[in-house]
Amino acid sequence: MSYIRRENPAEGVARIVLARPEKKNAQNPGLLYELDEAFLTASNESDVKVIILAADGTDFSSGHDLSDEFTVPGNRPVATMGGHLDVGMAEAHYAFECDAYMGLSRRWRDIPKPTIAAAHGRSIAAGLMLLWPMDIIVASEEATFADPVTAFGVNGVEYFTHVWEVGHRKAREMLFTGESLSAQEAYRLGMVNHVVARDRLEKFALELAVKISQRPSFGLRLAKESVNRTLDAQGQSIALESALALHNLGHASALARHGELAITAGRDTIRNESRHP
Ligand code: ZN
């Protein structure tokens, strides 16, 4: 593992850490599939009751690493049957996103154990796709959250649960403006469970994990699955698939107009918007 670190900070608790701080934990396919492997391992360990997802460095995650290849490592998808990964641009990219983005995020939402994300610094665009599938989000006071990718000519990140996370009004505003939500704003909107000082984040998340780990695993699993089924009864899974199709219409349009999967000027827009004040 070169992008992910696994720790065992307390009995019954596994901590998985994004360990690519020099790139602000930008997500290349290697990181995503290593993360999936780490989640799968922790899911299968009977003595692990709760999983924490945390990150090294100044920021939780700066989003997808756009400088890397959009390919499934080894051409072995884990969340789909693949299909068309190796054909033309838009078609192959859709197959890639179905597996590496939507597929993995949905797998992680359905991990049969409670998961807690500890977010600090910035979570930009795909950073949200690591946070939102987790069950509980704890943020440090200076944490911010943004999905600025309309600048690329797409609707938002591929795991489009914005409306459930912040409500449809704020979802529209964050998508239309690309601006960040503060930790306090995210807390007020219900996207974040707790906001704590930066130097307390790790301890707070661990104490919460230990508290949860005292309860019977099967009860926890059934509670989690019930919440997830409720979301799906509200239409979340269908909405996600629809949004991913529209997202890939955006990619195909950018490809036709500009020869790239995203409007390249969007990178400068996002870079400027994402600077710390
Ligand atoms: Zn995309």
Structural contact between residues 73 and 33, judged by C-beta atoms closer than 8 angstroms? yes
User: What's the CA-to-centroid distance between 201 and ligand 1, angstroms?
Assistant: 31
Mind listing the pLDDT tens digit for each residue in 63-94?
999 888 899 998 899 999 888 888 878 999 99
User: What's the CA-to-centroid distance between 239 and ligand 1, angstroms?
Assistant: 16
Domains of the chain: 4-274 (3.90.226.10)
User: What's the CA-to-centroid distance between 167 and ligand 1, angstroms?
Assistant: 22
> pLDDT above 70 covers what percent of the chain?
98
Mind listing the pLDDT tens digit for each residue in 134-163?
999 999 999 999 999 999 999 999 999 999
245 class by beta-carbon count within 10 Å (0-12 exposed, 13-18 middle, 19+ buried): exposed
- What is the average pLDDT across 234-239? 97
User: What's the CA-to-centroid distance between 38 and ligand 1, angstroms?
Assistant: 24
236-to-83, 89, 164, 230, 239 alpha-carbon distances in Å: 24, 28, 8, 9, 5
**pLDDT higher than threshold 50 for residue 265:** yes
**pLDDT higher than threshold 80 for residue 276:** no
- Strand, helix or coil at 64? strand
| Ranges of H-type helices in 15-69 | 29-44
220-to-135, 216, 237 alpha-carbon distances in Å: 11, 6, 22
User: What's the CA-to-centroid distance between 157 and ligand 1, angstroms?
Assistant: 7
Strands (E), the chain: 4-10, 13-18, 50-55, 115-119, 122-124, 136-140, 144-146, 181-182, 194-196
